[in-house]
Copies of this chain bind each other. A is one copy, B any other.
Amino acid sequence: MMANKARVWVLAKPFEGDIVHDNFKLVEEELPPVKDGEISIEALYLTVDPYQRVFPVEVGQTPVGQQVARVVESRHSDYPVGKLLLAQVGCRDKTVLDPTEKNRYFIHPFTPPKTVYNLQELGDVSPSLYLGVFGMPGLTGYFGVLDKCQPKPGEVVLVSTAAGAVGSVVGQIAKIKGATVIGSAGSKEKCDWLKEVGFDHVFNYKETSVEDALKEFAPDGVDCYFDNVGGDYAITVLNNMRQNGRFCACGQISQYSLKEKKPVQDILNVIMLRELVVTGHMVYPNLDRFDSARQEMAQWIKEGKLKYKETIREDFLKLPDAMMEIFQGTAIGKLLVKA
Protein backbone atom coordinates (compact mmCIF):
# COMPACT_ATOMS: atom_id res chain seq x y z
CA MET A 1 0.00 0.00 0.00
CA MET A 2 1.16 3.53 -0.82
CA ALA A 3 2.06 6.23 1.64
CA ASN A 4 -1.09 7.97 2.80
CA LYS A 5 -0.02 11.44 1.84
CA ALA A 6 -0.90 13.23 -1.40
CA ARG A 7 1.10 16.02 -3.00
CA VAL A 8 -1.17 18.75 -4.31
CA TRP A 9 -0.36 21.85 -6.35
CA VAL A 10 -2.62 24.64 -5.14
CA LEU A 11 -3.11 28.19 -6.29
CA ALA A 12 -0.95 30.47 -4.15
CA LYS A 13 -1.79 33.65 -6.03
CA PRO A 14 -4.56 34.21 -8.61
CA PHE A 15 -3.41 34.04 -12.23
CA GLU A 16 -2.80 37.50 -13.62
CA GLY A 17 -0.65 38.20 -16.64
CA ASP A 18 1.89 35.49 -17.39
CA ILE A 19 1.83 32.40 -15.22
CA VAL A 20 4.74 32.35 -12.76
CA HIS A 21 6.04 29.96 -10.14
CA ASP A 22 4.56 32.20 -7.44
CA ASN A 23 1.09 31.24 -8.63
CA PHE A 24 1.64 27.75 -7.24
CA LYS A 25 2.36 26.17 -3.90
CA LEU A 26 2.96 22.49 -3.23
CA VAL A 27 1.13 21.18 -0.19
CA GLU A 28 0.94 17.77 1.40
CA GLU A 29 -2.43 16.39 2.21
CA GLU A 30 -3.19 13.54 4.57
CA LEU A 31 -5.33 11.04 2.67
CA PRO A 32 -8.35 9.61 4.48
CA PRO A 33 -8.69 5.83 4.78
CA VAL A 34 -10.49 4.19 1.84
CA LYS A 35 -14.05 3.51 2.94
CA ASP A 36 -16.57 1.04 1.49
CA GLY A 37 -17.39 2.03 -2.11
CA GLU A 38 -14.26 4.15 -2.41
CA ILE A 39 -10.96 3.79 -4.22
CA SER A 40 -7.52 5.30 -3.95
CA ILE A 41 -5.93 6.37 -7.23
CA GLU A 42 -2.46 7.49 -8.25
CA ALA A 43 -1.74 9.78 -11.21
CA LEU A 44 0.26 8.37 -14.16
CA TYR A 45 -0.10 11.36 -16.51
CA LEU A 46 -1.44 14.82 -15.81
CA THR A 47 -2.81 17.06 -18.51
CA VAL A 48 -1.50 20.54 -19.27
CA ASP A 49 -4.02 22.69 -21.12
CA PRO A 50 -4.58 26.41 -21.60
CA TYR A 51 -8.07 26.21 -20.13
CA GLN A 52 -6.57 25.43 -16.72
CA ARG A 53 -5.82 29.09 -16.26
CA VAL A 54 -9.14 30.24 -17.67
CA PHE A 55 -11.04 28.54 -14.87
CA PRO A 56 -8.89 29.52 -11.94
CA VAL A 57 -10.00 28.32 -8.56
CA GLU A 58 -9.76 29.98 -5.17
CA VAL A 59 -6.38 30.47 -3.56
CA GLY A 60 -5.59 27.30 -1.63
CA GLN A 61 -7.45 25.06 -4.08
CA THR A 62 -5.89 22.98 -6.83
CA PRO A 63 -6.39 24.17 -10.42
CA VAL A 64 -8.78 22.12 -12.54
CA GLY A 65 -7.14 19.32 -14.50
CA GLN A 66 -7.54 15.79 -15.72
CA GLN A 67 -5.22 12.87 -15.13
CA VAL A 68 -4.90 9.28 -16.19
CA ALA A 69 -4.64 7.41 -12.92
CA ARG A 70 -4.35 3.85 -11.67
CA VAL A 71 -6.39 2.34 -8.87
CA VAL A 72 -3.97 1.46 -6.05
CA GLU A 73 -6.47 0.49 -3.37
CA SER A 74 -10.08 -0.47 -3.88
CA ARG A 75 -13.22 -1.03 -1.90
CA HIS A 76 -15.47 -0.90 -4.98
CA SER A 77 -15.81 -4.07 -7.04
CA ASP A 78 -16.14 -2.23 -10.39
CA TYR A 79 -12.79 -0.52 -9.84
CA PRO A 80 -10.18 -3.18 -9.03
CA VAL A 81 -6.56 -2.39 -8.19
CA GLY A 82 -4.62 -1.76 -11.41
CA LYS A 83 -7.58 -0.39 -13.35
CA LEU A 84 -6.83 2.78 -15.33
CA LEU A 85 -9.20 5.72 -15.10
CA LEU A 86 -9.57 9.24 -16.38
CA ALA A 87 -10.04 11.42 -13.31
CA GLN A 88 -10.72 15.11 -12.96
CA VAL A 89 -9.36 15.80 -9.56
CA GLY A 90 -7.01 18.70 -10.28
CA CYS A 91 -3.24 18.87 -9.97
CA ARG A 92 -2.58 16.17 -7.36
CA ASP A 93 -0.76 12.87 -7.40
CA LYS A 94 -3.00 10.77 -5.16
CA THR A 95 -6.67 10.88 -4.39
CA VAL A 96 -9.19 8.92 -2.38
CA LEU A 97 -12.63 9.19 -3.89
CA ASP A 98 -15.99 7.60 -4.48
CA PRO A 99 -15.82 6.68 -8.20
CA THR A 100 -19.58 7.21 -8.57
CA GLU A 101 -19.50 10.75 -7.23
CA LYS A 102 -20.35 13.78 -9.30
CA ASN A 103 -17.58 15.89 -10.76
CA ARG A 104 -15.58 17.67 -8.12
CA TYR A 105 -15.08 20.48 -10.61
CA PHE A 106 -18.50 20.74 -12.07
CA ILE A 107 -18.62 24.03 -13.91
CA HIS A 108 -21.42 23.33 -16.33
CA PRO A 109 -21.14 23.03 -19.31
CA PHE A 110 -17.37 23.07 -19.35
CA THR A 111 -16.73 19.86 -17.47
CA PRO A 112 -18.26 16.42 -17.67
CA PRO A 113 -20.63 15.34 -14.92
CA LYS A 114 -18.60 12.57 -13.24
CA THR A 115 -15.27 12.69 -11.42
CA VAL A 116 -13.89 9.51 -13.00
CA TYR A 117 -14.43 7.79 -16.31
CA ASN A 118 -13.31 4.40 -17.57
CA LEU A 119 -10.84 4.46 -20.46
CA GLN A 120 -12.64 3.30 -23.57
CA GLU A 121 -11.12 0.11 -25.04
CA LEU A 122 -9.22 1.12 -28.18
CA GLY A 123 -6.62 -1.64 -28.43
CA ASP A 124 -3.03 -1.33 -27.44
CA VAL A 125 -2.63 2.43 -27.01
CA SER A 126 -0.73 4.41 -24.42
CA PRO A 127 -3.06 5.54 -21.65
CA SER A 128 -1.56 9.02 -22.04
CA LEU A 129 -3.49 9.35 -25.32
CA TYR A 130 -6.72 9.64 -23.34
CA LEU A 131 -5.49 13.10 -22.35
CA GLY A 132 -4.48 13.96 -25.93
CA VAL A 133 -5.77 12.69 -29.22
CA PHE A 134 -8.44 10.49 -27.53
CA GLY A 135 -9.06 13.00 -24.77
CA MET A 136 -10.42 16.48 -24.35
CA PRO A 137 -8.13 18.15 -26.94
CA GLY A 138 -8.53 15.55 -29.69
CA LEU A 139 -12.28 15.41 -29.20
CA THR A 140 -12.48 19.21 -29.13
CA GLY A 141 -10.82 19.24 -32.53
CA TYR A 142 -12.93 16.38 -33.85
CA PHE A 143 -16.32 17.88 -32.98
CA GLY A 144 -15.20 21.41 -33.74
CA VAL A 145 -14.03 20.72 -37.26
CA LEU A 146 -16.84 18.33 -38.14
CA ASP A 147 -19.81 20.08 -36.51
CA LYS A 148 -18.81 23.72 -36.56
CA CYS A 149 -16.42 24.12 -39.52
CA GLN A 150 -18.02 21.45 -41.72
CA PRO A 151 -15.24 21.52 -44.31
CA LYS A 152 -16.17 20.42 -47.81
CA PRO A 153 -13.92 19.09 -50.57
CA GLY A 154 -11.99 21.94 -52.15
CA GLU A 155 -12.67 24.44 -49.40
CA VAL A 156 -9.88 26.35 -47.69
CA VAL A 157 -9.51 25.67 -43.98
CA LEU A 158 -7.20 27.64 -41.71
CA VAL A 159 -6.16 26.42 -38.26
CA SER A 160 -4.15 28.39 -35.73
CA THR A 161 -1.91 26.69 -33.12
CA ALA A 162 -2.00 23.94 -35.68
CA ALA A 163 0.80 21.91 -34.09
CA GLY A 164 -1.07 21.73 -30.80
CA ALA A 165 -3.18 18.87 -29.49
CA VAL A 166 -6.40 20.42 -30.83
CA GLY A 167 -5.20 22.12 -34.01
CA SER A 168 -3.33 19.13 -35.38
CA VAL A 169 -6.50 17.01 -35.19
CA VAL A 170 -8.57 19.78 -36.80
CA GLY A 171 -6.21 20.20 -39.74
CA GLN A 172 -5.82 16.50 -40.42
CA ILE A 173 -9.57 15.83 -40.27
CA ALA A 174 -10.15 18.77 -42.64
CA LYS A 175 -7.67 17.05 -44.99
CA ILE A 176 -9.55 13.76 -44.63
CA LYS A 177 -12.70 15.68 -45.66
CA GLY A 178 -10.97 16.93 -48.80
CA ALA A 179 -10.19 20.52 -47.85
CA THR A 180 -7.03 22.48 -48.56
CA VAL A 181 -5.53 23.08 -45.14
CA ILE A 182 -3.40 25.97 -43.94
CA GLY A 183 -1.85 25.84 -40.50
CA SER A 184 0.12 28.31 -38.44
CA ALA A 185 2.53 27.58 -35.63
CA GLY A 186 5.31 29.33 -33.78
CA SER A 187 8.49 27.42 -34.67
CA LYS A 188 10.25 25.81 -37.59
CA GLU A 189 10.12 22.46 -35.84
CA LYS A 190 6.34 22.68 -35.51
CA CYS A 191 5.90 23.82 -39.11
CA ASP A 192 8.04 20.94 -40.32
CA TRP A 193 5.93 18.46 -38.42
CA LEU A 194 2.74 19.95 -39.89
CA LYS A 195 4.08 19.50 -43.42
CA GLU A 196 4.97 15.94 -42.45
CA VAL A 197 1.42 15.14 -41.35
CA GLY A 198 -0.02 16.54 -44.58
CA PHE A 199 -0.94 20.19 -44.13
CA ASP A 200 -0.98 21.86 -47.56
CA HIS A 201 0.44 25.19 -46.40
CA VAL A 202 2.16 26.11 -43.18
CA PHE A 203 3.47 29.39 -41.84
CA ASN A 204 5.36 30.49 -38.76
CA TYR A 205 3.25 33.36 -37.41
CA LYS A 206 6.32 34.82 -35.72
CA GLU A 207 7.93 35.33 -39.12
CA THR A 208 4.97 35.77 -41.48
CA SER A 209 1.94 37.87 -40.66
CA VAL A 210 -1.43 36.24 -41.10
CA GLU A 211 -2.25 38.94 -43.71
CA ASP A 212 0.73 37.93 -45.81
CA ALA A 213 0.09 34.23 -45.35
CA LEU A 214 -3.53 34.61 -46.47
CA LYS A 215 -2.48 36.65 -49.49
CA GLU A 216 -0.21 33.82 -50.48
CA PHE A 217 -2.17 30.70 -49.50
CA ALA A 218 -5.80 31.88 -49.58
CA PRO A 219 -6.02 34.75 -52.06
CA ASP A 220 -9.75 34.03 -52.58
CA GLY A 221 -10.47 33.86 -48.88
CA VAL A 222 -10.96 31.25 -46.18
CA ASP A 223 -14.03 29.02 -45.96
CA CYS A 224 -13.43 27.70 -42.46
CA TYR A 225 -11.30 29.04 -39.67
CA PHE A 226 -10.70 27.14 -36.47
CA ASP A 227 -9.61 29.75 -33.96
CA ASN A 228 -7.37 28.84 -31.08
CA VAL A 229 -5.67 32.21 -30.64
CA GLY A 230 -8.21 35.07 -30.82
CA GLY A 231 -7.20 38.72 -30.85
CA ASP A 232 -5.89 40.48 -33.96
CA TYR A 233 -5.16 37.20 -35.72
CA ALA A 234 -8.81 36.19 -35.51
CA ILE A 235 -10.06 39.60 -36.62
CA THR A 236 -7.75 39.52 -39.64
CA VAL A 237 -9.08 36.11 -40.65
CA LEU A 238 -12.69 37.27 -40.21
CA ASN A 239 -11.98 40.05 -42.69
CA ASN A 240 -10.64 37.48 -45.13
CA MET A 241 -13.41 34.95 -45.04
CA ARG A 242 -15.48 33.92 -48.01
CA GLN A 243 -19.25 34.15 -48.33
CA ASN A 244 -20.93 31.67 -45.95
CA GLY A 245 -17.65 30.98 -44.18
CA ARG A 246 -17.60 29.19 -40.82
CA PHE A 247 -15.57 30.51 -37.93
CA CYS A 248 -15.21 28.21 -34.93
CA ALA A 249 -14.22 30.12 -31.78
CA CYS A 250 -12.51 27.45 -29.73
CA GLY A 251 -9.70 29.20 -27.88
CA GLN A 252 -8.02 32.55 -27.43
CA ILE A 253 -4.58 31.65 -26.15
CA SER A 254 -3.23 35.07 -27.20
CA GLN A 255 -5.68 36.68 -24.76
CA TYR A 256 -5.62 34.62 -21.57
CA SER A 257 -2.46 36.15 -20.15
CA LEU A 258 -3.31 39.76 -21.06
CA LYS A 259 -3.94 41.96 -18.07
CA GLU A 260 -6.41 43.99 -20.08
CA LYS A 261 -8.09 42.99 -23.30
CA LYS A 262 -7.88 45.58 -26.00
CA PRO A 263 -10.83 46.67 -28.12
CA VAL A 264 -10.97 45.29 -31.66
CA GLN A 265 -12.54 46.20 -34.96
CA ASP A 266 -16.32 45.82 -34.93
CA ILE A 267 -16.85 42.88 -37.26
CA LEU A 268 -20.64 42.51 -37.17
CA ASN A 269 -20.91 44.16 -40.56
CA VAL A 270 -18.46 41.67 -42.07
CA ILE A 271 -20.35 38.79 -40.45
CA MET A 272 -23.61 40.12 -41.88
CA LEU A 273 -22.52 40.88 -45.44
CA ARG A 274 -20.55 37.66 -45.86
CA GLU A 275 -23.25 35.63 -44.09
CA LEU A 276 -20.63 34.10 -41.84
CA VAL A 277 -21.43 31.68 -39.07
CA VAL A 278 -19.31 32.35 -35.98
CA THR A 279 -19.79 29.57 -33.46
CA GLY A 280 -18.48 29.08 -29.96
CA HIS A 281 -17.24 25.57 -29.34
CA MET A 282 -16.97 23.55 -26.16
CA VAL A 283 -16.38 19.80 -26.14
CA TYR A 284 -18.44 18.41 -23.28
CA PRO A 285 -21.92 18.99 -24.67
CA ASN A 286 -20.90 16.14 -27.04
CA LEU A 287 -20.16 13.70 -24.21
CA ASP A 288 -22.57 11.05 -25.50
CA ARG A 289 -20.67 10.95 -28.80
CA PHE A 290 -17.19 10.60 -27.30
CA ASP A 291 -16.99 6.81 -27.75
CA SER A 292 -17.90 6.82 -31.44
CA ALA A 293 -15.61 9.79 -32.08
CA ARG A 294 -12.66 7.98 -30.47
CA GLN A 295 -13.39 4.88 -32.52
CA GLU A 296 -13.39 6.85 -35.77
CA MET A 297 -10.14 8.56 -34.81
CA ALA A 298 -8.55 5.26 -33.80
CA GLN A 299 -9.45 3.92 -37.24
CA TRP A 300 -7.91 6.97 -38.95
CA ILE A 301 -4.76 6.51 -36.87
CA LYS A 302 -4.59 2.84 -37.91
CA GLU A 303 -4.94 3.90 -41.56
CA GLY A 304 -2.16 6.46 -41.19
CA LYS A 305 -4.50 9.37 -41.91
CA LEU A 306 -4.32 10.89 -38.46
CA LYS A 307 -1.04 11.40 -36.65
CA TYR A 308 -0.33 12.75 -33.21
CA LYS A 309 2.59 13.81 -31.13
CA GLU A 310 3.11 13.97 -27.39
CA THR A 311 5.53 16.11 -25.46
CA ILE A 312 5.92 14.52 -22.05
CA ARG A 313 7.67 16.28 -19.16
CA GLU A 314 8.80 14.00 -16.35
CA ASP A 315 7.92 14.48 -12.70
CA PHE A 316 4.86 15.74 -10.90
CA LEU A 317 7.00 18.55 -9.49
CA LYS A 318 7.37 19.98 -13.01
CA LEU A 319 3.65 20.70 -13.39
CA PRO A 320 3.92 24.48 -12.83
CA ASP A 321 6.79 24.63 -15.36
CA ALA A 322 4.62 22.78 -17.86
CA MET A 323 1.72 25.16 -17.26
CA MET A 324 4.07 28.03 -18.03
CA GLU A 325 5.36 26.16 -21.07
CA ILE A 326 1.93 25.72 -22.63
CA PHE A 327 1.70 29.50 -22.94
CA GLN A 328 5.25 29.79 -24.22
CA GLY A 329 4.37 27.42 -27.02
CA THR A 330 7.55 25.36 -26.86
CA ALA A 331 5.96 21.92 -27.00
CA ILE A 332 4.67 20.10 -30.08
CA GLY A 333 1.41 18.18 -29.93
CA LYS A 334 -0.07 17.29 -26.59
CA LEU A 335 1.86 18.50 -23.54
CA LEU A 336 1.72 16.18 -20.55
CA VAL A 337 3.39 15.62 -17.23
CA LYS A 338 4.30 12.07 -16.28
CA ALA A 339 3.90 11.72 -12.52
Q: Contact at B272–A249, with CB atoms within 8 Å?
A: yes
Nearest opposing residue in chain B for A108, CB measure:
B243
Interface residues of A (CB under 8 A from B): 109-110, 227, 230-231, 234, 243, 249-252, 255, 261-266, 268-282, 285
Q: Which chain B residues lie closer than 8 Å to A251 at the CB level?
A: 272
In the assembled complex, the Cα of A266 lies from the Cα of B273 at a distance in Å of 19
Q: Contact at B277–A281, with CB atoms within 8 Å?
A: no
In the assembled complex, the Cα of A121 lies from the Cα of B269 at a distance in Å of 35
Contacts A243-B109, A263-B263, A266-B231: A275 and B281 contacting too (C-beta < 8 A)? yes
Contacts A277-B277, A279-B275, A280-B274: A227 and B268 contacting too (C-beta < 8 A)? yes
Q: Which chain B residues lie closer than 8 Å to A270 at the CB level?
A: 280
Of the candidates B231, B250, B271, B285, the one whose C-beta lies within 8 Å of that of A280 is B271
In the assembled complex, the Cα of A232 lies from the Cα of B6 at a distance in Å of 50
Q: Which chain B residues lie closer than 8 Å to A268 at the CB level?
A: 227, 230, 234, 249, 252, 255
Q: Contact at B272–A281, with CB atoms within 8 Å?
A: yes
Inter-chain pairs besides A227-B268, A272-B280, A275-B280, 10 sampled, C-beta below 8 Å: A109-B275, A234-B268, A252-B269, A261-B266, A262-B266, A271-B279, A272-B281, A277-B279, A278-B278, A278-B279
Q: Which chain B residues lie closer than 8 Å to A279 at the CB level?
A: 271, 275-278
Contacts A109-B243, A243-B109, A263-B266: A278 and B271 contacting too (C-beta < 8 A)? yes
Q: Which chain B residues lie closer than 8 Å to A269 at the CB level?
A: 230, 249, 252, 255, 261
